[in-house]
């Protein structure tokens, strides 16, 4: 599977997370996507999403996940500085 296919699937999950009226569907999306805000291994994927996503829902997921990650005091100073230096796309 290409990264663009993966990104498209992620964008669909993000839309379900933020828009679905089905609570089970929303809960599934939330549990699938929580790794982005809880696991520092996903920081580079957040940057990829910010650089390549086309939906506001995916951009919201990536940006809020990075904010949560940088607020986590267990991250090393260097990692927090790296996150701080992430370039956000301009609209």
Residue 89 inside a domain? The answer is no
Confidence of residue 1 (pLDDT cuts 50, 70, 90): very low
Q: How many domains in the chain?
A: 1
Task: State the chain's mean pLDDT as an integer.
Answer: 86
Domain that residue 66 falls in: 3-84
The structure tokens listed for 41 are 């291994």
Residue 90 inside a domain? The answer is no
Q: What is the DSSP letter of 85?
A: T
Over the stretch 36-60, which tens digit does the pLDDT of each residue have?
999 988 988 998 999 999 999 999 9
Phi, psi (degrees; rounded to nearest 5) at 89: -70, 150
Please state the pTM of the whole predicted model. 0.79
Q: 3-class DSSP state for residue 89?
A: coil
């Amino acid at each position: 599977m290409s990264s663009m296919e993966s990104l498209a699937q992620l964008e669909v999950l993000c839309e379900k997370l933020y828009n679905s009226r089905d609570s089970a569907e929303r809960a599934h999306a939330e549990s699938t996507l929580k790794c982005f805000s809880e696991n520092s291994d996903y920081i580079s994927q957040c940057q990829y999403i910010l650089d390549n996503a086309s939906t506001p829902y995916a951009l919201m997921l990536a940006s809020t996940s990075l904010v949560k990650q940088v607020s986590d005091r267990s991250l090393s100073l260097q990692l927090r500085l790296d996150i701080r230096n992430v370039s956000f796309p301009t609209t």
